[in-house]
Amino acid sequence: MKLVVAGTMALDTIETPYGRAERIVGGAATYIALAAASLTQTVGIVSIIGTDFPTEMLTELEKRGIDLQGVVRHLSKPSFFWAGRYKADMQSRDTLETQLNVLTEFPDTIPPAYRFAPFLLLGNLDPVLQLRIYQQMNPRPQIVMLDTMNYWIQNRRDALEEALSIATIVSINDEEARELVGHYSLRRCARVILDKGPHYLLIKKGENGSLLFTKEGEIFFFPAYPLEDIFDPTGAGDTFAGGIMGYLAQVGRLTLQTLQEAIIHGTVLASLCVERFGPTALLEATPAEIQARKKALIRMSHFMALS
């Protein structure tokens, strides 16, 4: 096992200005694993699903070499469910409904075959759980990527601080970075967050791309791929993270250079993801499509006379 992914597997009902999708498969771990599996063949998921999670999606995941030993199927409860509506800007959204269901029984042990994986991606979950999963890894993974959200910043501060201290790469959005530090300037936020432990901080800004901050004080800027239309932003951040860790797991080492390559890969996968509802685009993306978009993205960021 190269990469272990912990996160939710869910059913989502999504409304956007372009349409509505009812009870489709979602969840951070689904998007992350599909994105990571586009490059690296040995990804294992730690998650929990309910009675209603479609078996066909499990088959699709397994077809892509994703290991599901760490996924528990609850025998009586339904899956974690989220319903949300996106506004016209496709960035802000209202949560219409959240049913935790099986999520309160998220597994806190991981299969023995997962324990020695060198790469661990802790998707947005209670940081107490993130830490428990991390602590079972033996030896400790070389690279840990961590995501979180406002709820944990407000309600699990101590555990989150500890989780930040064991992370190598933190991937959060601009709003979360600002809430975590209590300052508007992302540059100041980055310094404070990097002081808590991680070597790299990735701040996601949706259609405005992402910023990479390093412990050495460097900053790098990555544009988002400019799209004609966004159909469903759900899972974009998870796809971005999964693409990055999938890339790093494939090359097997983390340097500033491999991380930059990985971020371009993650950006391209996220841009494909949001052009369709749910994870459909990730299931259907071809290597040629990914490659073409990567090339275009690099050209867009390249200042001819200057770089």
Site membership for its own copies, residue 155 (CB under 8 A): no
> From the list 182, 287, 288, 305, which residue makes contact with its own copies (rule: CB under 8 A)?
305
d(CA 120, CA 64): 19
Q: How many binding residues for its own copies (CB under 8 A)?
A: 38
What is the pattern of x (binds its own copies, CB under 8 A) and - over residues 164-203?
Answer: --------------------xxxxx---------------
> From the list 197, 209, 235, 237, which residue makes contact with its own copies (rule: CB under 8 A)?
209
Burial 265-287 (b: 16+ CB within 10 A, else e): bbbbbbbbbbbbbbbbbbeebee
- The two beta strands, 43-49 and 3-6, are parallel
Residue closer to its own copies (CB basis): 76 or 184 = 184
CB 239 within 8 A of CB 282: yes
Nearest approach, Cβ of 28 to its own copies (angstroms)? 25
Site membership for its own copies, residue 226 (CB under 8 A): yes
Site membership for its own copies, residue 150 (CB under 8 A): no
User: Which two three-digit tokens encode residue 92?
Assistant: 């802000």
Residue closer to its own copies (CB basis): 3 or 90 = 90
Residue closer to its own copies (CB basis): 14 or 297 = 297
- The two beta strands, 3-6 and 143-146, are unpaired
Site membership for its own copies, residue 214 (CB under 8 A): no
Stretch binding its own copies (CB under 8 A), from 22-30, 67-75, 146-154, 294-302: 294-302
> From the list 230, 245, 285, 290, which residue makes contact with its own copies (rule: CB under 8 A)?
230
User: Which two three-digit tokens encode residue 153?
Assistant: 């910043």
Residue closer to its own copies (CB basis): 115 or 188 = 188
Site membership for its own copies, residue 229 (CB under 8 A): yes
Instruction: With CA atoms as reference, report the closest residue to 106 among 34, 235, 6, 13.
Output: 6
DSSP string, 119-151: EEEE-SS-HHHHHHHHHH-SSPPSEEEE---HH
What is the pattern of x (binds its own copies, CB under 8 A) and - over residues 84-123?
Answer: ----xxx---------------------------------
Residue 117, amino acid:
A
Site membership for its own copies, residue 270 (CB under 8 A): no
CB 1 within 8 A of CB 113: yes
DSSP state of 225: P
Site membership for its own copies, residue 50 (CB under 8 A): no
Q: How many CA within 13 A on the CB side of residue 15?
A: 9
Q: Which residues bind its own copies (CB under 8 A)?
A: 88-90, 184-188, 205, 208-209, 211, 218-223, 226-230, 256-257, 260-261, 264, 298-307
